[in-house]
């Protein structure tokens, strides 16, 4: 495997990030749920009210993945939390330590930002990812089930 490095995403990376999001969604059988576009990514990552951060994973042959995260706040701990929205490494580059390095890098960011935890979700059928998460010490959040409000239900509640 060739060496890899991380760099912060910069304006102009929107198309690349969108390509990786679509590749990830294809892997997760969720491509039909991708609604974002380059303009939305530009606003979220580089706009005046930055909502998320991203890094690009590169090898000698070019970009091979990305990670995107944002912060939340835990009232119980009284501290921010880093929420990992996505980590994606192109299939040909998996198994060589990139994923572990991404999580190590994000853990360093979390600690530097005063976070007391990192959170993320995983699809229940994704055994390779679940196995990887267990190998780095992550534990499922017992007793909690993710909830989501979208579309018409979100609009109706806000009305």
Q: What is the pLDDT of residues 130-154, one digit of tens each?
A: 999 999 999 999 998 888 899 999 9
Annotated active-site residue in 27, 71, 105, 133:
133
Helix, strand and coil content of the chain, in percent to the nearest 5, comes to 40, 25, 35
Rounded CA separation 67/57 (Å): 8
pLDDT tens by residue, 79-92: 999 999 999 999 99
pLDDT value of residue 114: 97
Residue 16: band (very low, low, confident or very high) from pLDDT cuts 50, 70, 90: very high
What domains, with CATH codes, occur in the chain? 4-158 (3.40.630.30)
Q: What mean pLDDT value characterizes the chain?
A: 95
In this model, does residue 105 exceed pLDDT 80? Answer: yes
83 is catalytic: no
Q: Structure pTM? A: 0.93
Residue 67: φ, ψ to 5°:
-140, 145
Pairing of strands 79-89, 117-119: parallel
Residue 2: band (very low, low, confident or very high) from pLDDT cuts 50, 70, 90: low
Both structure tokens of 75:
């009232």
């Amino acid at each position: 495997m060739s060496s890899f490095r991380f760099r912060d995403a910069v304006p102009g990376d929107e198309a690349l990030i969108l390509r990786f999001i679509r590749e990830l969604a294809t892997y997760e059988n969720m491509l039909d749920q991708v609604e974002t576009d380059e303009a939305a990514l530009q606003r979220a990552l580089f706009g005046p009210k930055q909502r998320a951060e991203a890094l690009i994973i590169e090898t000698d042959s070019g970009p091979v993945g990305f990670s995107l995260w944002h912060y939340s706040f835990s009232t119980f701990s009284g501290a921010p939390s880093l929420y990992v929205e996505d980590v994606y490494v192109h299939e040909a580059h998996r198994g060589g330590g990139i994923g572990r390095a991404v999580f190590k890098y994000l853990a360093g960011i979390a600690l530097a930002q005063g976070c007391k935890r990192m959170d993320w979700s995983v699809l229940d059928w994704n055994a390779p990812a679940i196995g990887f998460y267990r190998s780095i010490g992550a534990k499922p959040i017992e007793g909690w089930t993710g909830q989501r409000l979208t579309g018409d239900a979100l609009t109706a509640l806000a009305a």
